Amino acid sequence: MSSKPTILIVDDEEDSRAALQTILGTWGYATDVASDGREALQKAAGLRPSLVVTDLMMPDMDGLSLLTALQQEMPRMPVIILTGRASVETAVGAMRQGAYDYLTKPVDLDRLRLLIEKALERGRTLDEITILRRRVKDVWGLGRLIGRSAPMQEVHRLIEQAAATPAPVLIHGETGTGKELVARTLHELSARASGPFVAVNCAAMPETLLESEIFGHERGAFTDARDRREGCFELAHGGTLLLDEVAEMQPGTQAKFLRVLEEGAFRRLGGKTEISVDVRVVAATNKDPFAAMKDGVFREDLYYRLNVFTLAVPPLRQRVEDIPLLVTGFIEEFNAKYDKRITGVDDATLKILMSHAWPGNVRELRNVVERAFIACEGDMITAKILPGTSPVAPVASWSGDSEMLTAPIGLPLREVEKQFVLRTLAAESNNKTRAADRLGISTKTLHNMLQRWGLLHRHIPRGGSA
């Protein structure tokens, strides 16, 4: 395979095309040619060139149409436009549409050579940025979602999987685990990243206000509706809408919400016109969604509509090994925010932080670190200035291939049950019949348990937590 950058030359004038191909060859580039936009598109799809140099005026599909099509298929590939029309309007039009640069015929070859080198350099820089982003992800986690533990790697995997689809996503996890950050990351990795991300907390307001917030209202729809107002669905058009604490929504609002999910259309409160929107819906809850559905809090049809992709965000106690990384990340953030130069926490402090139960999860850890950071007068946070993180480490521990699960006194029974069931399932290579047999329960009971935890179709890794 050639390591030379490949340049695709597009020109309907055979003499110019052949000259440019010969010249670019002498400059050390691999080349291919096309005589119009359509042929260029076909060749670019297979060739994946590093750069396209195209004439502007061509029959059938001109240079600007080719540029637009290429930007959709290969948005990072630079395109240089050559033209016989030396008008400013055309140049501005081409640059506005995203051309890398624009040259007038007869082409100044020294300038073209320089432009090609710069464009390819830019392409290489963009590639390096992508690689660096991946490395940062390896070291820190996905985007701002810090964590390298097995449960977080599973969350990252599911986010990347869900981001590639337009399907609704249901995120559940305890308070403070970072459900909104998961939703935001999902949005940023999706094709809708350039669109808006709108979040609304369904638990924070009464029903009428929530409906007005989500669907908007017309003037006079209710007493205080003095003006027409767009709701979150309209504001999120082309992007992602996060409905946080979705299980807190009243049944009537849930029914309206379900209709938007199914039909992609709704009416503002007091409105007669159907409004169509293109929105990816992400719902989040701190309740066990299956249990909420069984209790009648969460509509069954809405649960199944949202349950296309379920993402369980693990509590911090199940990913204690991420605490050092999280603490480092918070300290970097606070150094920038408070303009200080604190280098980290000492070993004793880290040990305390890693043995705390963190019922408030990452949010609680962040608050504790921030308070200690503000109180810190040296360059290192010590245990003396750590606010009350006193008791306990009620975390079930699992050591590698061992068949032993150790749980401290005080660990909630439901957590013991969950950890015990999942470890048995992992030990039986995810074979549910064998796991149920070993646990002395029916396969149906195991099935129900996994469904309740949102882990029915999840592979439980050996040695890691779900």
Partner 1 sequence: MIGAMSASEKTQDLRARLERLEQGVTRLADGPDRASLVEGVQALRETVERLESVERAERHQLGHDLRVPLNAIAGWAHILRLDATSVDTVHRAVEVFDRNIRALTRLIERYTSERAER
Q: Which residues bind partner 1 (CB under 8 A)?
A: 13, 15-16, 18-20, 22-23, 26, 57, 82-87, 104-107, 109
Residue 104 C-beta: closest distance to partner 1, Å:
7
Residue 86 C-beta: closest distance to partner 1, Å:
6
Residue 92 C-beta: closest distance to partner 1, Å:
15
Residue 9 C-beta: closest distance to partner 1, Å:
11
Tell me whether residue 16 or residue 65 sits nearer to partner 1 (CB atom).
16
Residues 6+ apart with CB under 8 A from 41: 61, 66, 69, 70, 73
Tell me whether residue 103 or residue 205 sits nearer to partner 1 (CB atom).
103
Residue 20 C-beta: closest distance to partner 1, Å:
6
Residues linked to residue 217 through DSSP beta bridges, in sequence order = 229, 269
Are β-strands 79-83 and 101-104 bridged in parallel, bridged antiparallel, or unpaired? parallel
Burial code of 154-163, b = ≥16 C-beta within 10 A, e = fewer?
bbbebbeebb
Tell me whether residue 92 or residue 348 sits nearer to partner 1 (CB atom).
92
Tell me whether residue 85 or residue 459 sits nearer to partner 1 (CB atom).
85
Give the integer Cα–Cα distance in Å for 57 and 60.
10
Residue 8 C-beta: closest distance to partner 1, Å:
17
Tell me whether residue 83 or residue 286 sits nearer to partner 1 (CB atom).
83
Tell me whether residue 12 or residue 218 sits nearer to partner 1 (CB atom).
12
Residues 6+ apart with CB under 8 A from 191: none
Give the integer Cα–Cα distance in Å for 158 and 312.
9
Tell me whether residue 55 or residue 234 sits nearer to partner 1 (CB atom).
55
Query: If DSSP codes are grouped into helix, strand and coil, which group holds residue 325?
Result: helix
Cβ–Cβ under 8 Å, residues 281 and 170? no
Cβ–Cβ under 8 Å, residues 211 and 251? no
Residue 90 C-beta: closest distance to partner 1, Å:
9
Share of the chain residues as helix, strand and coil, in percent rounded to the nearest 5: 50, 15, 35
